[in-house]
């Protein structure tokens, strides 16, 4: 994906640059709806920006047509409603998926749960790289599978995993599933072809199923480029379930709509043989929004990436200059910063910032072992709000 040069006019035109706090506080979603009125939220991964005009237009057109009857894909068989749109979208990443391997679900977490339920038995191991998006760890544990964690660590070259150690762990523990999150939340790493080849090789050598969560692909900053792991070879594609959606990059997580590309035939067959609607059915508005985003939303998306890149640089500079005891690495994708606050010596740094700065961050504790000293900061907001967040944090520190 190419990044357009920063275009101040576009940023202003889309309304990213001076968000109205009254509008944000009037939202009912969890990010703004569940905090005290004097707290600024920089926690859950929603962006504060208005939704892309083509998405809003598509939703408005569907509503004004009164087109809210049973969807054409509910229960009647036929192709998945996103098969062609997903296949077309993947051209951006030089990958030609199989349209008939596509299945839509209401969200990625649900899709992972279906994979685990179908492809593993209680007690089986599932490998998760940590720090990990918390619902993955929770899902694996609550489903009675063994969460086998392998750290992505800070090295001189940035965040990375140790393929030798991962290989050893897998040989010892014999897990069935490897969960890969690429681009990675919360470190913002976009794995290179060499790293993905290592992961693919390990999965093939150990006969593992790969869940590849690629939902953040559209938020990679140039020159970093997302590579779908399933695009590496037919062999890895056949054992990979690629998961994505338009909801993260286009900021409509509330519409609950995700899409998967399922390599293992036995999983496709199990899903198709399940009773009607047992996994729920994707809804009309989610599908309309996804199609509009992928077909007509790339101008808006380029402007979002510009805004995010500028925000990222501003936050990192501010941390280096005003909070030098906190360590951060600029993410290669996405709008989250993974901050090492070990030198602050707080019992729970997120609680400290909530109480002392009135800023809500995500606590590192829920991201897996070794993450206790970290917090995650969401910088997808306008510069005026971000400046206030940083001033509050610097004063508290």
Ligand X SMILES: Cc1ncc(COP(=O)(O)O)c(C=O)c1O
Q: Which residue has the tokens 């504060």?
A: 48
Considering the complex, state which of residue 59 and residue 215 has its C-beta at the smaller distance from ligand X. Answer: 215
Residue numbers 7-66 binding ligand X by CB under 6 A = 45
* C-beta of residue 360 within 8 angstroms of C-beta of residue 393: no
Structure tokens given for 188: 């913002």
Of 139, 187, 231, 245, the residue at the interface with ligand X (CB under 6 A) is: 245
| d(C-alpha 365, C-alpha 357), whole Å | 19
Structure tokens given for 191: 């794995």
Considering the complex, state which of residue 190 and residue 215 has its C-beta at the smaller distance from ligand X. Answer: 215
| d(C-alpha 225, C-alpha 218), whole Å | 9
Considering the complex, state which of residue 256 and residue 322 has its C-beta at the smaller distance from ligand X. Answer: 256
Angle at 51 between CA 384 and CA 387, to 5 degrees: 10
332 binds ligand X (CB under 6 A): no
Of 253, 284, 301, 328, the residue at the interface with ligand X (CB under 6 A) is: 253
- Residue 135, burial from CB neighbour count under 10 angstroms (0-12, 13-18, 19+): middle
Q: What is residue 91's DSSP assignment?
A: G
246 binds ligand X (CB under 6 A): no
Shortest approach of ligand X to residue 42 CB, angstroms?
Answer: 14
Shortest approach of ligand X to residue 129 CB, angstroms?
Answer: 11
Shortest approach of ligand X to residue 45 CB, angstroms?
Answer: 4
Shortest approach of ligand X to residue 261 CB, angstroms?
Answer: 15
Of 140, 215, 301, 389, the residue at the interface with ligand X (CB under 6 A) is: 215
Considering the complex, state which of residue 49 and residue 352 has its C-beta at the smaller distance from ligand X. Answer: 49
Structure tokens given for 49: 């920006």
Across the chain, where does the E strand assignment appear?
Answer: 40-41, 102-105, 125-130, 146-151, 153-155, 158-160, 177-181, 209-213, 240-244, 258-262, 336-340, 359-360, 362-363, 374-378
Q: Which of 336, 335, 334, 244 is nearest to 290 (CA)?
A: 244
Considering the complex, state which of residue 187 and residue 245 has its C-beta at the smaller distance from ligand X. Answer: 245
Residue numbers 150-209 binding ligand X by CB under 6 A = 181, 185
133 binds ligand X (CB under 6 A): yes
| d(C-alpha 152, C-alpha 220), whole Å | 18
Residue numbers 67-96 binding ligand X by CB under 6 A = none
Considering the complex, state which of residue 120 and residue 362 has its C-beta at the smaller distance from ligand X. Answer: 362
> With b meaning 16 or more CB within 10 Å and e meaning fewer, what string describes 282-310?
bbbbbbbbbbbbbeebbbbbbbbbbbbbb
Q: List the beta bridge partners of residue 261.
A: 102, 242
Binding range to ligand X, per CB under 6 A, among 26-34, 49-57, 82-90, 242-250: 242-250
Residue in the shown chain whose Cβ atom is closest to ligand X: 107
Considering the complex, state which of residue 105 and residue 352 has its C-beta at the smaller distance from ligand X. Answer: 105
Considering the complex, state which of residue 43 and residue 95 has its C-beta at the smaller distance from ligand X. Answer: 43
**Cα 337 to chain centroid, rounded:** 13
Binding range to ligand X, per CB under 6 A, among 5-13, 240-248, 283-291, 351-359: 240-248
Of 30, 92, 109, 143, the residue at the interface with ligand X (CB under 6 A) is: 109
Binding range to ligand X, per CB under 6 A, among 104-112, 169-177, 265-273, 350-358: 104-112
Of 116, 196, 258, 328, the residue at the interface with ligand X (CB under 6 A) is: 258
* C-beta of residue 61 within 8 angstroms of C-beta of residue 267: no
Q: Which residue has the tokens 């940590």?
A: 130
Binding range to ligand X, per CB under 6 A, among 140-148, 244-252, 353-361, 384-392: 244-252
Considering the complex, state which of residue 129 and residue 318 has its C-beta at the smaller distance from ligand X. Answer: 129
Q: Which residue has the tokens 């994707």?
A: 282
Residue 198, SS3? helix
Considering the complex, state which of residue 47 and residue 397 has its C-beta at the smaller distance from ligand X. Answer: 47
Contact residues toward ligand X (CB under 6 A) are 45, 107-109, 133, 181, 185, 213, 215-216, 245, 247-248, 253, 258
């Amino acid at each position: 994906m190419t990044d357009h040069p920063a275009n101040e006019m576009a940023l202003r035109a889309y309304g990213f640059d001076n968000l109205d706090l009254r509008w944000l506080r009037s939202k009912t979603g969890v990010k703004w709806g569940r905090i005290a009125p004097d707290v600024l939220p920089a926690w859950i991964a929603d962006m504060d920006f208005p939704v892309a005009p083509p998405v809003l237009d598509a939703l408005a057109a569907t509503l004004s047509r009164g087109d809210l009857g049973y969807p054409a894909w509910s229960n009647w068989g036929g192709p998945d409603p996103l098969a062609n749109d997903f296949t077309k979208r993947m051209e951006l990443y030089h990958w030609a998926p199989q349209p008939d391997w596509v299945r839509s679900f209401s969200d990625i977490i649900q899709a992972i749960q279906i994979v685990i339920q179908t492809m593993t038995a209680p007690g089986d191991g599932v490998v998760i790289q940590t720090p990990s998006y918390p619902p993955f760890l929770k899902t694996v544990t609550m489903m009675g599978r063994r969460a086998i964690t392998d750290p992505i660590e800070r090295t001189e070259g940035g965040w990375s995993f140790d393929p030798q150690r991962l290989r050893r762990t897998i040989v010892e523990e014999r897990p069935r599933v490897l969960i890969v999150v690429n681009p990675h939340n919360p470190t913002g790493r976009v794995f290179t072809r060499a790293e993905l080849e290592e992961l693919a090789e390990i999965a093939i050598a150990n006969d593992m199923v790969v869940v590849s969560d690629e939902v953040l692909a559209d938020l990679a900053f140039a020159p970093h480029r997302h590579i779908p792991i399933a695009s590496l070879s037919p062999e890895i594609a056949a054992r990979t379930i690629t998961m994505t959606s338009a909801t993260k990059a286009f900021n409509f997580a509330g519409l609950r709509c995700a899409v998967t590309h399922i390599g293992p035939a036995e999983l496709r067959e199990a899903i198709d043989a399940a009773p009607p609607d047992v996994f729920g059915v994707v809804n009309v508005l989610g599908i309309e929004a996804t199609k509009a985003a992928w077909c007509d939303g790339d101008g808006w998306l380029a402007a979002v990436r510009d805004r995010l890149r500028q925000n990222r640089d501003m936050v990192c500079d501010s941390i280096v200059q005003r909070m030098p005891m906190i360590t951060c690495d600029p993410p290669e994708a996405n709008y989250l910063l993974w901050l090492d606050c070990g030198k602050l010596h707080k019992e729970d740094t997120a609680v400290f910032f909530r109480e002392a700065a009135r800023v809500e961050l995500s606590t590192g504790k829920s991201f897996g072992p070794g993450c206790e000293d970290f917090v995650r900061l969401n910088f997808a907001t306008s510069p005026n709000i971000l400046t206030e967040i940083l001033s509050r944090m610097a004063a508290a520190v």
